Chains A and B, each alone.
Chain A
């Protein structure tokens, strides 16, 4: 919480505040005048307080103002408070009370939206210089004169409030977050900046105390869905899963497109799932080149900076957050019932109408007994999502701490899909001296993904008459219709398969900040982050798993099963990822009259070592049993150890300068030199530059009188960023042998002895270098109508060159591809955010936020021109010059062939009931030349609307997200929605569809016998509108809290993914799931919970 930092640090004078004063027989007021002249501080005091104080005789050089004031004021029973650059002189606390008794006064308590007391809020009487600040309990008291009418409460980052006194003696105030985001502080690379001074495009999302935080967020990024323009966060459909993320379009064809994650100012090397969403205070999403430039080497895909919570108020605050959610599968596909399934199986296989002779004995028995199984219902359950968090935080004079521990448990909708996490985060920051600050953030998390989940794909396709249990004791039948398709629950809970997957993460970030005492504005910061991941996973499949196809319980007898001991196998995999980041950051900030400068120099390096040890064992026939499970691997006849490892290192040197003049003109420029181990020997280093400017045009004279406009800032930025686009060792010609070579042979006189081949697996490319994105960003940020409407617009264009991708090469080299730095992909787009305060009164408040963004992607170059000077598309890899990535290339379907289409049938050999394709070339036959680009899998644009309505202590928040297609965008092949035949097995179940017959001449659904022709795609629109989040919360009134001795209590009910409007058939449109695919559903979660502070 940035505001928190400033609250705390404001208690301390900044390092530049030293003063040299020589004074004889001066008064305090004289001294204050000198301080005001020589420093940036302003001093408020009551003349009466200082007029009778004794005279001052001093002669000091470079004395800290704080020391000077403390010594002089304490002699006079006075003390002071410092708020930002304002010093307020007050009587020492002992005689405060006596003063209060004498005169009419008003007192009260100032809290923030979450009910926590705020320390250091300035309380001023309007029209006077009389002011005070709140104490560490958030309480204040101020004397009044009869003319005093209004109190003004102010605090950095919070909205200034004016409150009429109206004769009241007690005025409690709740401070609200400044909705004018221009005053917020944003996280940029290796430092922070005020939004109003910044020239790039950064979106910030406040989590702490926001309704978004109450939503059952399954991971650290879920909260960002739909709230930040240009940022696409994918759906999460497994317990503990991590979503995909993409900022401003796909830039890299082959390489990594994930944004870089920065956690509390340092590159984050762990897994996103290690971060507990409850510990997050805010996000800053750095989208354009200038913002991201600080992380030159890996910033081409943008940056998501996550800031965790910090201690805020003087007294320790204990917070307890708890929520419980229930998950269900929305729009679950409805598979055919047995009667329809029988008809369809006969139709698709051209069996006689009504034939049942292909049913297996067990299926027949079920049919005759009228017993059918809805397999999909057998593999799912009501998911449960539980979250508990306890946090203790506080901020004392020189120490700020935040300790949090949490437990999350998610039982997914699919049986066996489960996840739990224990995480601990501790942050301590201390001011050792006025110039030295030390801090340590440490965290530990343990994630447990162990378990085998049921197979949805096989549940969706299983015969409705399939046999679930082989006996009356509830033991599963492995092959419900005797062959081919396994019971979707086989191995899930029957003990034949065990799985363990536990991941530990240890993270320690230590930092030192030295405020160089003799240069005003110069600080040096040193970060040392070390991160350790210890992951252990293992699988064990015992002999019971391998029961054979067929019917009858004989297959399960111990004697038969014992034979499969030779098939029993397992592995235990231990992997470790050790990494560290070292940052040296030198910063100089100063203001000279109307000129402000901010200079940063950074030297950074990081290193990551990955080590994997995988032990496998198989064949337990000689051992005799598998009772020891995976820890009995050492008893296996065949045992192997497989080692894997890699290492990557980066070095970066950054120089950045920001300059602003008169709060009107802003300029930022940076230059970074980066080295990465991943690239070829002479390609390791690269330079990246960025420059951006902003003009606060609303501060100009000619706009000052234009009342509707409160603020307008124009921005323009250009810059380069790099992307690594590949992993370690990609430049080398790798040779693999032993098991890793995957080439084995056995010569006849050596039964069981395996000879391993040696294989060169890649053709190295020593000239592989950086993928570079050059981008432009322009736009404006504006505030209108007395800060009631905010409109932000960004336009961007980026071109990514030297794309690292697998270039097709002549196979005569022995290789088909080589990783090359070639090609170009462009992205351009528009992002619009409109926020408005629609209605505001004492009790009511209604805010609306609308976000819209649209990205267009284009492949510009691939391999370069061929012999004829034309650049060829790469059809094999689906890359087309001049088209977006994700192009769909194929035959355009124009309905279904009808019996009357005799010419088409004669010329193409198609049958009636088969899909009909457009003859693009006009040669009357359908050939490869008739293929064309049919559309794109990528969305057209996204539009999201969120509303928040507050009435007294109630808050209702709702977010609707929409991802739109149109114009050929957001299409995906969905053959299982159209086809009846062509699935893997002759009797697969499916969803009901009105397939073509001679009497039902469908123009959409092919005939039941059509099993695919290599051309049919069944393109379907994925466009959807989703009720993403709905949250209703209620904060208990302060007056009630007093009785139960609590600081704040908020209770809430919340729903995520409440409903989806889409024409997509089969599963979730966002994941593009089709029927029969073993892709887990995106859950709808309904939760309730409470946040309690002590």
Chain B
């Protein structure tokens, strides 16, 4: 009897252990419930479009910089001839070459961001082509893929302009890989060109939806890529091939500029076209509230100013200059998209309350909004390009580049009077905090104040590509192709539109491209990616101009070497263990 029980227990144990063992693998299997993995994320075309939307979103982050990342301020111009940091942010300098070396995180972050976009595009393209994927129409599929391939080419253009030749990756990575090889800069440009040529037919001329990619964006980039390719080929001594590239650049510029879709705006238009006068209110001691208003400064709007008003940026708003714009939507910002804003008044705006607190205080419209000046325009950008004969220019009009500031401190000698710039510039620190305010970064009518917004952010759309940039690219291509007259004519398209008194001539088109670069500064300040421009041009242009125009003295004393590309980030070289990636010239001993 006892023996029997004993046996029963043994069997019970065996049974227990048995049930445990055979279910082990099931028990340990991981099945996520609240998110997808790459293996099950894509089943409909809507999800492929979501992958594309993620790229639109990241590009907006890289242009508007809502989270105020230092590397993006550099990417958007800090450390070039155009922008520097104010005295209160010397720690964020990108002008002290004692700290700018291949280990500098700015380079790494920029490099990573562009490859993130490439990876997103690769994921979208490969999932779009999954055999199980269903599409409503062939054109739907073609347009979705075209957008992804555009972004990939766009990323390679940016990488090649900034870093030179980079590894070309065209498939999503599924595992870590350590054996990437650099292509040449020309190969990288050529890859982007080939891609854009392939998708050009799949992009629409215009869209009903503002913000989606159109053919003009592709052609503009081809114009820039052929120009960049030609410049590189010329530098490599391949003159004939370079000429071919410049010709192609001009041809693609022509398609955009003369294609009939786009035109420079030269009459009042858009949401505020009927306003013939605006004024900026003055608040006693900079304190908000209607009771504190003691006066106002009048301004006369013009059509250049219209280009940067809320509701006037998109092509769909009647703006014929807009080729491709990032989309900002206040309702979405309020709902949940906290990064859906242009924090330009905050990040680009001056800090009179620190730079001249005795005269102009507060954070209201009279002080240009709630500026904290993450970066500030150099004297070149704000003053010298408008000196002398260059002064009469709609882009230098007070409503566009506001130079009139009234004292609002009751104790100030300039209370309710314009403060002279000699006072605002009384020492270098204050000069770095007090500067003219562009209508691209501030406004007289801040959206959302009633909801508690504090004049930090603009809620208008903003340009990725505006026609004048295509014109400036074509001008450069013409000049590089030996047609200085054509180049001057292109520049004068912009100068005429801005009602400048001085028109440039072929004689102004110097070999260092100073006239083109100055015109770019006047036209595209706060819009272009200045580093891309300077480095794309090659030679010693970047280094020369930085040394000449940097605000603080460190660049002069520390930029003791020459470079015309950013370094390949040391972290990237270190991580790519299987293949040695060559460092760019000038950075090896840094």
Q: Which residues of A approach B to under 8 Å, CB–CB?
A: 349-350, 357-358, 361, 482-483, 516, 518, 546, 548-552, 554-555, 563-564, 566-567, 584, 586, 603, 605, 607, 618-619, 621, 637-638, 640, 643-647, 649, 651, 675-678, 684, 728-729, 731-737, 739-741, 743-760, 763-765, 807-816, 818, 820, 863-864, 866-867, 872, 875-876, 908-909, 925-928, 982, 986, 1011-1014
Q: Which residues of B approach A to under 8 Å, CB–CB?
A: 2, 6, 9, 13, 16-17, 20, 24, 27-39, 41, 47, 50-58, 60, 88, 90-91, 96, 98-99, 101, 103, 108, 111-112, 115-116, 118-120, 122-123, 166-167, 169, 172-178, 180, 208-212, 285, 287-289, 291-292, 314, 316, 327-329, 331-332, 334-337, 339-340, 353-354, 357-358, 362-363, 370, 409, 411, 427, 429, 450-452, 454, 461, 553-554, 557-558, 571-572, 574-578, 580
Which of B6, B30, B34 contacts A731, CB < 8 Å? B30
**Given known A-B contacts A482-B287, A744-B340, A748-B314, A619 and B334 have beta carbons under 8 A apart:** yes
Which of A754, A812, A986 contacts B180, CB < 8 Å? A812
A845 to B119, CA, bound (A): 73
A731 to B328, CA, bound (A): 36
Q: Are B332 and A754 in contact, with the CB atoms below 8 A?
A: yes
Q: Are A1011 and B91 in contact, with the CB atoms below 8 A?
A: yes
Which of A757, A807, A866 contacts B51, CB < 8 Å? A757
A814 to B55, CA, bound (A): 13
Which residue of chain B has the shortest Cβ distance to A927 in the bound complex? Answer: B98
Q: Are A757 and B53 in contact, with the CB atoms below 8 A?
A: yes
Which residue of chain A has the shortest Cβ distance to B208 in the bound complex? Answer: A749
Residues on B with C-beta less than 8 A from A818 are 176
Minimal beta-carbon separation of B321 from chain A (angstroms):
16
Q: Are B57 and A866 in contact, with the CB atoms below 8 A?
A: no
A618 to B332, CA, bound (A): 12
Residues on B with C-beta less than 8 A from A728 are 30
Q: Can you list 21 contacts pairing A with B, beta carbon distance less than 8 Å?
A: A350-B429, A549-B363, A550-B288, A552-B287, A552-B292, A566-B334, A567-B334, A637-B335, A729-B30, A735-B35, A735-B36, A746-B337, A749-B209, A752-B331, A758-B53, A759-B51, A807-B176, A811-B112, A867-B577, A867-B578, A1012-B91
Which residue of chain B has the shortest Cβ distance to A739 in the bound complex? Answer: B336
Minimal beta-carbon separation of B295 from chain A (angstroms):
18
Q: Are B53 and A810 in contact, with the CB atoms below 8 A?
A: no
Residues on A with C-beta less than 8 A from B557 are 909
Residues on A with C-beta less than 8 A from B554 are 909
Extra A-B contacts (20), CB below 8 Å, given A619-B335, A677-B27, A750-B209: A350-B429, A551-B285, A605-B20, A618-B334, A618-B336, A643-B34, A737-B36, A745-B327, A748-B211, A752-B332, A754-B335, A759-B54, A763-B173, A809-B176, A809-B177, A810-B575, A863-B577, A909-B553, A909-B557, A927-B98
What is the number of contacts between chain A and chain B, taking CB atoms within 8 Å? 303
Minimal beta-carbon separation of A680 from chain B (angstroms):
10
Q: Are B176 and A813 in contact, with the CB atoms below 8 A?
A: yes
Residues on A with C-beta less than 8 A from B211 are 745-748
Residues on A with C-beta less than 8 A from B292 are 552
Residues on B with C-beta less than 8 A from A745 are 53, 56-57, 60, 211, 327
Which residue of chain A has the shortest Cβ distance to B38 in the bound complex? Answer: A733
For B210, B211, B574, the residue with the greatest tally of chain A CB atoms inside 10 Å of its CB is B574
Residues on A with C-beta less than 8 A from B331 are 751-752
For A607, A645, A649, A745, the residue with the greatest tally of chain B CB atoms inside 10 Å of its CB is A745
Which of B58, B167, B327, B339 contacts A748, CB < 8 Å? B327
Which residue of chain B has the shortest Cβ distance to A814 in the bound complex? Answer: B119
Which of A644, A732, A750 contacts B37, CB < 8 Å? A732
Q: Are A741 and B54 in contact, with the CB atoms below 8 A?
A: yes
A927 to B590, CA, bound (A): 9
A-B complex: 10 closest residue pairs judged by Cβ atoms: A814-B119, A748-B210, A757-B54, A752-B331, A758-B50, A813-B173, A735-B41, A563-B450, A746-B329, A546-B452
Q: Are B47 and A737 in contact, with the CB atoms below 8 A?
A: yes
Q: Are A676 and B28 in contact, with the CB atoms below 8 A?
A: yes
Residues on A with C-beta less than 8 A from B174 are 733, 763
Residues on B with C-beta less than 8 A from A675 are 24, 27-28
Q: Are B180 and A810 in contact, with the CB atoms below 8 A?
A: yes
Residues on A with C-beta less than 8 A from B553 are 909
A357 to B30, CA, bound (A): 64
Residues on A with C-beta less than 8 A from B31 are 647
Residues on A with C-beta less than 8 A from B339 are 744
Residues on B with C-beta less than 8 A from A820 are 176
A944 to B141, CA, bound (A): 71
Q: Are A566 and B576 in contact, with the CB atoms below 8 A?
A: no
Residues on B with C-beta less than 8 A from A638 are 334-336
What secondary structure prevails in chain A residues at the interface with B?
loop
Q: Are A753 and B332 in contact, with the CB atoms below 8 A?
A: yes
Residues on B with C-beta less than 8 A from A812 are 115, 118, 166-167, 169, 173, 177, 180, 572, 576
Q: Are A926 and B98 in contact, with the CB atoms below 8 A?
A: yes
A756 to B98, CA, bound (A): 42
For B28, B52, B123, B314, the residue with the greatest tally of chain A CB atoms inside 10 Å of its CB is B28
Residues on B with C-beta less than 8 A from A358 are 357-358
Minimal beta-carbon separation of B585 from chain A (angstroms):
19
Q: Are A743 and B54 in contact, with the CB atoms below 8 A?
A: yes
Residues on B with C-beta less than 8 A from A747 are 209-212, 327
For A749, A809, A811, A876, the residue with the greatest tally of chain B CB atoms inside 10 Å of its CB is A811
Q: Are B38 and A808 in contact, with the CB atoms below 8 A?
A: no
A621 to B31, CA, bound (A): 41
Residues on B with C-beta less than 8 A from A645 are 33-34
Which of B32, B34, B120, B335 contacts A759, CB < 8 Å? B120
Minimal beta-carbon separation of B465 from chain A (angstroms):
16
A928 to B589, CA, bound (A): 11
Residues on B with C-beta less than 8 A from A357 are 357-358, 409, 411
A620 to B98, CA, bound (A): 52
Which residue of chain A has the shortest Cβ distance to B288 in the bound complex? Answer: A550
Minimal beta-carbon separation of B334 from chain A (angstroms):
6
A1013 to B89, CA, bound (A): 10
Minimal beta-carbon separation of A70 from chain B (angstroms):
23
Which of A566, A733, A752, A1014 contacts B99, CB < 8 Å? A1014
Residues on B with C-beta less than 8 A from A765 are 175-176
Minimal beta-carbon separation of B79 from chain A (angstroms):
15
Minimal beta-carbon separation of B188 from chain A (angstroms):
12
A984 to B588, CA, bound (A): 36
For A483, A758, A764, A927, the residue with the greatest tally of chain B CB atoms inside 10 Å of its CB is A758
Q: Are A876 and B571 in contact, with the CB atoms below 8 A?
A: yes
Residues on B with C-beta less than 8 A from A764 are 37-38
Q: Are A754 and B337 in contact, with the CB atoms below 8 A?
A: yes
Which of A361, A563, A733, A810 contacts B451, CB < 8 Å? A563
A592 to B329, CA, bound (A): 84
A640 to B173, CA, bound (A): 33
Q: Are A808 and B574 in contact, with the CB atoms below 8 A?
A: yes
A503 to B99, CA, bound (A): 49
Residues on B with C-beta less than 8 A from A733 are 37-39, 174
A820 to B577, CA, bound (A): 15
Residues on B with C-beta less than 8 A from A872 are 574
**Given known A-B contacts A550-B288, A605-B20, A812-B167, A743 and B208 have beta carbons under 8 A apart:** no
A510 to B485, CA, bound (A): 93
Minimal beta-carbon separation of B181 from chain A (angstroms):
10
Which residue of chain A has the shortest Cβ distance to B12 in the bound complex? Answer: A524
**Given known A-B contacts A549-B363, A867-B577, A554 and B91 have beta carbons under 8 A apart:** no
Which of B41, B112, B336, B575 contacts A758, CB < 8 Å? B41
Q: Are B119 and A746 in contact, with the CB atoms below 8 A?
A: no
A51 to B200, CA, bound (A): 117
Q: Are A746 and B30 in contact, with the CB atoms below 8 A?
A: no
A552 to B167, CA, bound (A): 59
A874 to B388, CA, bound (A): 53
Minimal beta-carbon separation of A742 from chain B (angstroms):
9
A120 to B56, CA, bound (A): 79
Residues on A with C-beta less than 8 A from B208 are 749
Q: Are B103 and A875 in contact, with the CB atoms below 8 A?
A: yes
